[in-house]
């Protein structure tokens, strides 16, 4: 199966894709770099792949907050998904807006009970000296704002919840 996902690497979009080329062969693109690799799935759910003559083993799952938790050999990472053009992190369509990265909440532009449009900017975060605008993603009413401006939040932390407007 082919795969595509936009990851967020230090605030920048990193497009990653894999295309099957035939028996155990894949073309994998990470940003601007293209690789051809051989890969096999193992019975325990891990994947073994060969890149430039070296074998690696990995396993990954996608978490409810949109991050991919990867274990590769003896190392692990949580790989966040790219927020997209002004979209919030995670599942914006269900109105749950989570922090795309660990950082500081610069401002919260809405209060609980306030109606919002999907394109409205609801909060601004800062990390790695870059500002990230988070939009509502859906039309609705702000149900919950558990953070305030100035708060330091972990990646994936709940910033806002918006209740979908009845339609």
Partner 1 sequence: MSTPPFRRILVANRGEIAVRICRSLRAMGIETVAVHSDVDGSAPHVLAADRAFNLGGRDASSSYLQVPQLLDAGCVSECDAVHPGYGFLSEDPDFARALSAVGMEFIGPDADSMEILGSKQRAKQAAKDAEVPVVPGFDRDTGDDAQMLDEARRVGFPLLIKASAGGGGKGMRLVRAEAEFLEAIAACRRESQAAFHSREMLLEKYLEPARHIEIQVLGDHHGNVVALNERECSVQRRHQKIIEEAPSPIVDTELRVQMSEAAVRLAKQVGYQNAGTVEFLVDARGSFYFLEMNTRLQVEHPVTECTTGLDLVQLQVLVAGGAKLPDLLRGRDLTPRGHAIEVRVYAEDPAQGYLPAAGVIQRVVEPCGPGVRVDSGVVSGTEIGVQFDPMISKIIVHGMDRENARQRLLAALRETAYLGISTNLDFLCRVLEQPGFIAGELSTGFLDANPELARASEPAPDLAYLAAALCGSLTPSVGRKPVAAGDAGPGTLPDVWDEGSGLRLWGQA
Footprint of partner 1 on this chain (CB under 8 A)?
1-5, 7, 9-10, 14, 16-20, 26, 28, 30-31, 33, 35, 37, 39-41, 44-47, 49, 51, 56-64, 66, 68-79, 90-94, 96
Contact 62, 47 (CB under 8 A): no
Q: How far is the CB of 136 from partner 1 (least distance, A)?
A: 14
Give whichever of 67 and 132 is closer to partner 1, judged by the CB atom.
67
- What pairs with residue 40 in β-bridges? 48
SS3 for 85-141 is CCCCECCHHHCEEECCCCEEEEEECCCCCCEECCCCEEEEEEECCEEEEEECCCCEE
Give whichever of 110 and 137 is closer to partner 1, judged by the CB atom.
137
Give whichever of 10 and 131 is closer to partner 1, judged by the CB atom.
10
Q: How far is the CB of 167 from partner 1 (least distance, A)?
A: 14
Rg of the chain over all Cα atoms, to the nearest angstrom: 19
Q: How far is the CB of 151 from partner 1 (least distance, A)?
A: 17
Give whichever of 4 and 149 is closer to partner 1, judged by the CB atom.
4
d(CA 133, CA 122): 8
Q: How far is the CB of 117 from partner 1 (least distance, A)?
A: 18
């Amino acid at each position: 199966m082919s795969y595509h996902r936009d990851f967020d690497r230090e605030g920048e979009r990193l497009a990653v894709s894999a295309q099957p080329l035939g028996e155990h062969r894949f073309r994998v693109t990470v940003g601007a770099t293209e690789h051809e690799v051989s890969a096999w799935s193992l019975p325990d759910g891990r994947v073994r792949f060969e890149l430039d003559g070296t074998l690696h083993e990995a396993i990954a799952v996608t978490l409810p907050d949109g991050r991919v938790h990867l274990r590769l050999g003896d190392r692990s990472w949580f790989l966040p998904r790219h927020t997209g053009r002004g979209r919030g992190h995670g599942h914006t369509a269900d109105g749950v807006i989570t922090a795309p990265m660990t950082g500081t909440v610069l401002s919260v532009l809405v209060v609980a009970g306030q109606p919002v449009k999907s394109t409205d900017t609801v909060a601004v975060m800062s990390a790695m000296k870059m500002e990230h605008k988070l939009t509502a993603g859906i039309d609705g009413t702000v149900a919950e704002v558990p953070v305030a401006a100035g708060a330091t939040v972990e990646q994936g932390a709940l910033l806002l919840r918006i209740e979908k407007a009845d339609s």
